[in-house]
Copies of this chain bind each other. A is one copy, B any other.
Amino acid sequence: MSQPTGACPHAWRHQQQHRGRMWATSRAFRRQLVLLRSLLPSPPSPPPYSFPSVAGRFFAPSCSSPSSTPSGSIRASHAMAGSAVYEADAEAVVRRITPPLDRSRHKGQAGKIAVIGGCREYTGAPYFAAISALKVGADLSHVFCTKDAATVIKSYSPELIVHPILEESYSVRDDERASVSSKILTEVAKWLERFDCIVVGPGLGRDSFLLDCVSNIMKHARQANIPTVVDGDGLFLITNNLGLVEGNPFAILTPNVYEYKRLVQKVLNCDVNEETAAEQLTLLCQKIGGVTIMRKGKADVISDGKTVTQVSTFGSPRRCGGQGDILSGSVAVFTSWARHFIMSNEEPKEKSWLSTAQESSITCF
């Protein structure tokens, strides 16, 4: 920024320093830092599944050639306990995929997100996930929750569209279960294909009937190839029913330390081993079959079963409730932007996705 003509140089310099300090400590800056941790760069290789994962398209170069990054996604490579782990330049990735603020665009083109969650007990979590999607830049953010939760979530913000559709066991008679479940799926299915990404889990609770209904919704979303971020009680659901995400490259799991531990115990039948953390995460993704896992922690470590990347840019050091929900809503938006970016840069189908990526210079960020 150039110094304005006629301004007192000392006052001006002081102002700039002051502004720099203000920005570095501002809430907006801290929020940016947190949000920038939500992207997954991972390295190129032909897709081993029917659908290449969205996140997997934003890959880092192989371990042996970190110098080949044209636009700086890899700032430094680390040897994380037993395996190569790359530090992602999340900011560069986000800058690349963020849709332009173009006056000719119309409502919905910057992303339509839905959160499946919110029950009698929890209303804050789905709110944080859904409102984060809007604050990151999505155009529309919906919540599908129980009737009890809906009034409260609606009242948090008029910006959300809240559907009081889900039911818990206490409000459904045993003989009504099948018909209510079918009605819920019909209602949600009407909307589902409009969304660019859904988030399953924030404030979902663990009611058996509700989880059964959500399982059906997840199956429907999978058939429709809708990217699905799974967080919170959604991870409880899929840990007990891995078939819901097995082999789904459009599934992104965002476990915290406890959720990750349960997932490792269930899938790998062992405890988390920090000595071989990167290999264990890679193996976990492979065993579940092509999903992307973002293991939250001091640094967020991310893998799609092929490579491991981390984002260690720090956000707030507090670890209060709601931060994971904010992350899941943000990941949903970045996922939808990434998918749109790939599709809009896609060559005709006869070309392989790998050559397309190279030609459109999204090989490395």
Binding site for B on A (CB under 8 A): 4, 6-15, 17, 101-110, 120-125, 127-128, 134, 137-141, 148, 151-152, 154-164, 256-257, 297-298, 314, 317-324
Contact = CB atoms under 8 A, between A and B. Distances in A.
15 contacts: A7-B14, A8-B14, A103-B317, A104-B297, A104-B298, A107-B323, A108-B319, A121-B161, A121-B164, A123-B162, A124-B158, A139-B318, A155-B156, A156-B158, A161-B321
Contacts of A140: 320-321
A185 to B, nearest CB: 17
A139 to B, nearest CB: 5
A321 B152 contact: no
B13 A10 contact: no
B152 A103 contact: no
A272 B4 CA distance: 49
A111 to B, nearest CB: 10
B319 A109 contact: yes
Given A101-B317, A101-B318, A319-B109, A121 B163 contact: yes
Contacts of A103: 298, 314, 317
Contacts of A324: 107
Candidate in A101, A256, A321 with the most chain B CB atoms within 10 angstroms = A321
- 4 smallest CB-CB distances across A and B, nearest first, come from A124-B158, A11-B11, A8-B10, A101-B317
Nearest to A157: B124
Contacts of A320: 107, 110, 134, 138-140, 159
Nearest to A315: B103
Given A102-B317, A320-B140, A11 B13 contact: no
Given A6-B10, A163-B121, A107 B155 contact: no
A158 B143 CA distance: 14
Contacts of A138: 320
Nearest to A155: B155
Contact of A124 (B109, B159, B257, B319): B159
Given A12-B14, A14-B11, A120-B164, A321 B6 contact: no
Given A6-B13, A7-B13, A321 B155 contact: no
Nearest to A320: B139
Contacts of A164: 120-121
Contacts of A125: 158
A4 B138 CA distance: 42
Contact of A4 (B12, B17, B297): B17
A256 B107 contact: yes
Nearest to A324: B107
Contacts of A11: 7-8, 10-12, 14-15
A365 to B, nearest CB: 24
A137 B9 CA distance: 41
Given A6-B14, A7-B14, A17-B4, A319 B107 contact: yes
